[in-house]
Amino acid sequence: MSISSFPPTLKLSAVPFRVVFALSCLSLLVAFGAGVAPAVAQDTAAGEKVFKRCAACHSLEAGKNKVGPSLAGLFGREAGRAEGFRYSKAMAAADFVWTPQALAAFVAVPKQFVPGTRMPFPGLKDVGQRDALIAYLRTTAANP
């Protein structure tokens, strides 16, 4: 093979469609994924700041309840079921599982989401702060 014929030409029709498709998807992930990581890092950093307001009453350590229950392992847990914490009747009777969406709705207006809750927090009105808080909580070891 001579230098002038390098690289060898490749007929696109000779490449299976799924290979072309996979390479196209990979290039999109590389192109757009570069912008996602810094945004997530910013969200989690902002969320850590927002969590400082929560940390007065909640911990991220499993089994360490304060005035409020531990938030370790929150996502996927049934509402009103943190071990060793005494919930209000309303929260103990709540029939939902903590998801990022449920937490966002609850944190926005706790007393509307679960009427009768004892949580004195008035709510986090800013959507960006709620999203950042959830992004941060998802990075903690016990909240994948």
The answer to whether the beta carbons of residues 101 and 90 sit under 8 Å apart is no
Beta strand segments in the chain, E: none
Residue 92 identity: A
The mean pLDDT of 110-126, rounded to a whole number, is 96
Per-residue pLDDT tens over the stretch 9-49: 445 455 454 544 444 444 444 444 444 344 556 688 999 99
In a domain, 6, yes or no: no
The answer to whether the beta carbons of residues 82 and 65 sit under 8 Å apart is yes
In a domain, 29, yes or no: no
In a domain, 16, yes or no: no
92 three-state secondary structure: helix
| Backbone dihedral region for residue 45 (phi beyond 0: left; psi -120 to 50: alpha; all else: beta) | alpha
In a domain, 92, yes or no: yes
Per-residue pLDDT tens over the stretch 73-114: 999 999 999 999 999 999 999 999 999 999 999 999 999 999
Q: What is the pLDDT of residue 12?
A: 47
Q: Which domain holds residue 56?
A: 37-139
In a domain, 74, yes or no: yes
User: How many domains are there within the chain?
Assistant: 1
In a domain, 95, yes or no: yes
Q: What is the CATH number of the domain that holds 53?
A: 1.10.760.10
In a domain, 24, yes or no: no
In a domain, 15, yes or no: no
